[in-house]
Structure 1
Amino acid sequence: MLIAVALATVFGCIGLASLGLRSVPPNFSLLTRQLIAIGIGVAVLVVVARIDHHAWERWWPAVAVTVGILLVGVLVVGTRIRGTRGWFALGGWTLQPVEFAKIGLILLQAVYFRRRARLLDRFRTVLESAGITAAVVVPVLFQPDLGSAVILILVWFGMLLVFGLRRAHLLSIAVIGLLTIAIGWQFFLHPYQRERILTLLDPHRDPQGAGYNQRQAVIAVGAGGLFGRGFGQGTQSQLRFLPEAQSDFLPAVFAEEFGFVGVAALIAVVMAVLLRCASVARRCPDDFSAAVVVGFALLFGIQAFLNLGMNLGVVPVLGIPFPFVSAGGSAVVAFAAGLGIVSGIAGRTPRAERSTYEFEVIPS
């Protein structure tokens, strides 16, 4: 798993190095900042991996308070970037609390599932779990950061499914979800967010406005062909036709320069991490450990594939970075912390030990 993640960071650094060539003279400041973030992330990973993961189960009140302070604090004193008040300005750097809140939510839900695993057949338990998620999602929506809110909800829902959500409850959640989407569309989504979704349904709706970024990304992906144009030879990125190339659309840069083979390598990295997490989760001796591993796998996989979907034009542009690939120090450090917890769990779980936790089929 660590090798796969290391490859992902290498792929990301190659993409950022390519973007540095589009300036005259070349400017590798993005790559430099990413390398610093990776260095901090490695240190965090090593420290966190050495902590007994069951300590997080005892520290859940501190985790909850920290997440709450960060998410509320950023609404009060945070810096607004591209219309979203989601960052703390720290000198020449910024800190994005929602990236750490994602890991925090996984830990909080893991604690809850550990204590209520045998009560998931009760709808009240599902609602209580939803309340924990809502407490994190609501301040994120006020930033507004729709992409992160969607990820938080999907990770929570995925954890419910893995732990054995009843079909009757699944139907109830679907109805509540549809009503929430309808209300959110009417009263809470900003016009630019609605426009992005409508543009996905009709790509020719606003090709020079809301649909421009995604259209350029799709062009870049298509231009790469099988083997790509070569390092630093992508026209969409080098000629600056592709906005946010360093973050949301870095996979499109990679696709144009390294083709289908490069994208396949990215997908292979994601699958390697997910398969390794599944293997670790099945060996976990308790529900808390398994829930943490499953939650991290869901977060990593959902975020990676939603980002790829954005780059391929099949998912609305939600501002979701590719884990360990896209530029963004907060995301790198937060995912490194999550990976450290999972690595610690893997290291403390004997390979021969059978798990007391089993993935459950949704009962009727």
Structure 2
Amino acid sequence: MLFFALVITASAGMLSLASTNIDFFWRQLVWYALAFTLILCAGFIDWKWVLSQTWFRFGVYGISVAMLLLSQFQSASIRGTKSWILFAGIQFEPVEIAKLGLIFVLAGFFSRKHISAWQTGNIFLSFVYAALPAVLALLHPDFGSSMVLLLIWAGFLLIEGINRKRFLAGFACAILAFAALWVFVLKDYQKDRLTGFLFPTRDPFGANYNVIQSKIAIGAAGFLGKGFGQGTQSQLHFLPEAQTDFIFAAFVEEWGLLGGTFVILTFFAIVYRLIVIGIRAQDNYSKFIVLGTALVFTIHFFINVGSNMGVMPVTGITLPFFSYGGSSVLTIAVLISIIERIKLESR
């Protein structure tokens, strides 16, 4: 069920890319070919042994942090951020590898510290693991990815079963930290983007332009949509980033409420299946890996679809295995490959 749900998600994303930008379609096809090859080879890779090696877990994490740091010093920026590294003619996002490394490290940490994870010192140490790449991502500036990394950490605490008082105390600290970021770090345009959904009619040609065009695309779709290649907002390039941040709006415009509902239900099916696999996992480490992957899908889904519909701030978060992007596709493929191996061992 999980594999077929991913195939459906990828197919829907490819359908949207074929309509809006055929060049992105062919590039994404290569990434999907690599991704599904990796997933299908899951039975031949002893992921349990690989992930049991501390050097591997921290190696992936350390490399991602080093690349996030390195990207700060590159001269070129893309769309105003330095979130990409160019290597051998290929652009990739270090923050996607950071999500992978963070899940590996936190899964290992909480599975070893299962009994004492409620201790303040252990909670703080786990926070440091998340905060380091999150701060580096914020400096790009990439507020959305920074937020995702911290939400993954918070999700791990909930999975671990942290008591309510400690979680609320941590939540209060998070609010204070965000207030400090708001005052001392975030630029005016970032503040405008984060608060734009609260004031949808403000600055329609500036901070709120993307959201307004997205809402027009979704609102004009109707039940069955305008048809393949007939979406006016995306085809006439009124809708920005129709292949990444706003691919859901571009898809719904052409396939309507029916198509949008189908995509939403498919994502729900993926998350549901991941939760079931996580619950059935034979050991805590496997459980944390699977549920950590479910967290990535859930966080990305709600932020991306919510921002496309104008009920969440626009932070540049994409839909996993749906939006264009090789870094994201391969990161998800590695996690799904591990999960397929966990499924085999749980039977």
Match of 1:130 in 2: 127
How far residue 44 of structure 1 moved from its aligned partner, in angstroms, is 3.1
Q: Aligned pair 1:260/2:257, yes or no?
A: yes
CA distance in 1, matches of 2:17, 2:59: 36
Match of 2:247 in 1: 250
Match of 2:10 in 1: 9
Q: How does 1:114-129 map to 2 (within 5 A)?
A: 114-129=111-126
Q: Is this contact kept in 1: 2:111–2:284, CA < 8 A?
A: yes
What are the Cα deviations for residues 33-60 of structure 1, in whole angstroms up to 9, with x where unaligned?
A: 1111111222333445533232213122
The one-letter amino acid of 2:45's match is I
Q: Aligned pair 1:198/2:184, yes or no?
A: no
Q: Is this contact kept in 1: 2:193–2:208, CA < 8 A?
A: yes
How far residue 274 of structure 1 moved from its aligned partner, in angstroms, is 0.9
Identical columns (%):
37
Root mean square deviation of aligned Cα: 1.4
- Structure 1 stretches of 5 or more lacking a match? 21-27, 351-364
Match of 1:333 in 2: 330
Q: Aligned pair 1:38/2:68, yes or no?
A: no
Give the counterpart of 1:146 among 143, 148, 159: 143
The one-letter amino acid of 1:8's match is T
CA distance in 2, matches of 1:201, 1:7: 33
**In 2 relative to 1, CA 283–106 (structure 1 residues): closer, same or farther, beyond 3 Å?**
same
The one-letter amino acid of 1:193's match is Q
How far residue 251 of structure 1 moved from its aligned partner, in angstroms, is 0.7
How far residue 91 of structure 1 moved from its aligned partner, in angstroms, is 4.7
Q: Aligned pair 1:219/2:216, yes or no?
A: yes
Match of 2:343 in 1: 346
TM-score by length of 1: 0.91
Q: Is this contact kept in 2: 1:230–1:258, CA < 8 A?
A: yes
The one-letter amino acid of 2:18's match is A
Match of 2:107 in 1: 110
CA distance in 1, matches of 2:289, 2:149: 14
CA distance in 1, matches of 2:42, 2:65: 21
CA distance in 2, matches of 1:60, 1:238: 43
CA distance in 1, matches of 2:42, 2:180: 40
Aligned structure 1 segments of 4 or more residues deviating by more than 6 angstroms:
none
CA distance in 1, matches of 2:183, 2:27: 40
What are the Cα deviations for residues 289-332 of structure 1, in whole angstroms up to 9, with x where unaligned?
A: 00000000000111022110111001111111111111111111
Q: Aligned pair 1:98/2:99, yes or no?
A: no
The one-letter amino acid of 2:135's match is V
Q: Is this contact kept in 1: 2:61–2:98, CA < 8 A?
A: no
TM-score by length of 2: 0.95
CA distance in 2, matches of 1:316, 1:154: 15
Give the counterpart of 1:82 among 70, 79, 82: 79
Q: Is this contact kept in 2: 1:79–1:88, CA < 8 A?
A: no
Give the counterpart of 1:56 among 45, 51, 58: 51
Structure 2 counterpart SS, 1:118: coil
Structure 1 counterpart SS, 2:303: helix
Q: Is this contact kept in 1: 2:60–2:97, CA < 8 A?
A: no
CA distance in 2, matches of 1:313, 1:281: 32
CA distance in 2, matches of 1:254, 1:302: 20
Give the counterpart of 1:308 among 291, 305, 310: 305
- Structure 2 stretches of 5 or more lacking a match? none
What are the Cα deviations for residues 248-280 of structure 1, in whole angstroms up to 9, with x where unaligned?
A: 111101111111111111111111111111111
How far residue 228 of structure 1 moved from its aligned partner, in angstroms, is 0.8
Structure 2 counterpart SS, 1:84: coil
Q: Is this contact kept in 2: 1:221–1:252, CA < 8 A?
A: yes
